[in-house]
Amino acid sequence: MSVMRTKSIEQTLREGDEPEYQLKKQLTALDLTVFGIGVVIGAGIFTVAGRAASQQAGPAVVVSFILAAVCCALAALCYAEFASAIPVSGSAYTFSYAGLGEIVAWIIGWDLLLELMLGASVVAQGWSIYLGIFLDHLGITIPPSVAYGSHFDLPAFVLVILLTVLVSIGIKESMRVNMALVALKIFIVLFVIVAGIGYIKTSNYSPFIPPSVPTKAGSTMESPLLWAALGHTPSHYGWIGVFAGASLVFFAYIGFDVVATTAEEAKNPARDLPRGIIGSLIICTVLYCATALVLTGMVRYDKLAEAGSLAGAFEQVGRPGFATLISAGAVAGLTTVVMTLIIGATRVVFAMSRDWLLPAGLGKVNPKTGTPLKITIGLGTIIALTAALTPVGKLEYMINIGTLSAFFLVSSPSRCCGSVGPTSSAPSPSPSAPSSRGYRRQSAPT
């Protein structure tokens, strides 16, 4: 049996009809859009915008956000087309299985799993940091022995465990909590935009694209690939800084593709999935650009704090009370990111177990909750321990690698490209054919 075998679209769809492995179809276009916003707007808008402006692009960081959004939009179109044609859990894993073969799907499945689990752990630790900042503003101090940076990060551990319980209860319940927290998060972002307009100084926008400035040479691995290949002196600002800023703020958009992991739970996937994926990306881009303009208008780009830049900007203009509110918004915002990453990770493992690339028993859906309970509890425990015990540090930069790999594979030409869609010419099994999972293993269609 060839490891390069692929699955037809019809066969992939049949696997979602097996009662033991069937997820409830409960999500609308609004649910999916909110789901996408919930995972995209998080650590990126609260920290990355200030870092990119101060280190790379200056006020032109808004151009960096637009460039990154265009790149993500091209990938989003591919995700939307695949997800509407193959509305099955698994996202890039499922699409790779249909187009590029089992071995590629196996690799990208583990790639996605590690990316989502590591991302959830990193963001949970970031949540712990912001929780400490918020409580400090209220005069409450977390004991150093269990705070972020200690041997056991208790707040991060508790957060992941609570969210794992919520995700285990059901996807609709998770979406309700997600919608409430996303509403709070969007309110905070709009508050930053509206409140910050009054503190904008147009002089802070000059120069809009700061002149290029040489910087200290780092290792080859930390230099832009093209720059290192051509032997140019490392620099920041200028147009090179704008493009470098785009590569940095790309992290802020990671997550819209997680919407595709819930394809099997959408009521009308052909209509709702493209709306959810593209809609969430457009809304987040508008909010990012507006926030970047306000941020660089309030405080000169070279004086922005690299960490907690939004809260820091209001502290620099003499509004510490606003900074407290923004910290609270960051706590709510990062909560939704961790939850959606947990959901995405469980759906990837669910798809792999249903294909027998992992033990099939893991993927059985609990009849009461309609969720893969074993997978959710197992992954939640691993993520919680990773967040509590591991000093993640620079590992967070590896998240981009997994995302770019998934984007590349979803956008690559494949053998199924000509048959994606409802008019696929792939042969259907006869009425007497065995179940799709047995059918796949016995006849190994290509």
Domain extent, residue 270, equals 28-405
Nearest CA to 296 out of 200, 212, 209 is that of 200
Tell if the pTM clears 0.85, that is, is over it. no
88 domain residue, yes or no? yes
424 domain residue, yes or no? no
443 domain residue, yes or no? no
425 domain residue, yes or no? no
The H or E element spanning position 289 is: helix 269-298
427 domain residue, yes or no? no
* Count of domains observed in the chain: 1
Amino acid 164: pLDDT:
94
Q: Residue 236: what are its φ and ψ, rounded to 5°?
A: -135, 170
- The answer to whether 37 touches 282, Cβ cutoff 8 Å, is no
State the CB neighbour count (10 A cutoff) for residue 82.
Answer: 26
Amino acid 336: pLDDT:
83
Amino acid 155: pLDDT:
93
Amino acid 160: pLDDT:
95
110 domain residue, yes or no? yes
Length of the chain: 446
Distance from C-alpha of 99 to C-alpha of 105, rounded to nearest angstrom = 9
Amino acid 272: pLDDT:
84
302 domain residue, yes or no? yes
Q: Which residues pair with 301 in a beta bridge?
A: none
The H or E element spanning position 235 is: strand 235-236
Q: Mean pLDDT, 10 residues at a time, over the chain (446 residues)?
A: 66 65 76 82 72 83 90 82 76 79 85 83 84 85 85 92 91 79 84 88 87 65 58 72 81 74 78 85 89 88 71 79 82 85 88 85 82 91 91 59 72 52 39 40 39
CATH number, position 364: 1.20.1740.10
Amino acid 427: pLDDT:
39
429 domain residue, yes or no? no
